[in-house]
């Protein structure tokens, strides 16, 4: 599965909401800092890593896609 699809699927699962690449913490009331960590952990389990020092920069799905490797 493509990395972008993995990110979207995990974010949907963690947030329990329909999201897109444009979804951000400001546009999704379910998205909290704890949910960000849950998404990062889910991505790590799926083989998609986010550098630890960059986690604080995550404010949107597009941020996750930019930081994922």
Give the CATH number of the domain where residue 25 resides. Answer: 1.10.1200.10
Output the CA torsion sign for 38, 27, 63, 2.
Answer: positive
| Domain ranges, residue 53 | 3-67
pLDDT at 1 over 90: no
> Taking the model in full, what pTM does it have?
0.92
| Domains held by the chain: number | 1
Q: How confident is the model at residue 69 (pLDDT cuts 50, 70, 90)?
A: confident
pLDDT at 68: 93
Burial class (CB in 10 A: 0-12, 13-18, 19+), 7: buried
Span 12-41, pLDDT tens digits: 999 999 999 999 999 999 999 999 999 999
């Amino acid at each position: 599965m493509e990395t972008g699809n993995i990110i979207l699927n995990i974010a949907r699962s963690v947030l329990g909401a329909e999201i897109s690449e444009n979804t951000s913490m400001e546009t999704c009331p379910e998205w909290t800092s704890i949910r960000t960590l849950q998404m990062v952990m889910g991505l790590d389990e799926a083989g998609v890593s986010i550098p630890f020092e960059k986690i604080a920069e995550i404010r949107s799905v597009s941020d996750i896609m930019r930081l994922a490797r």
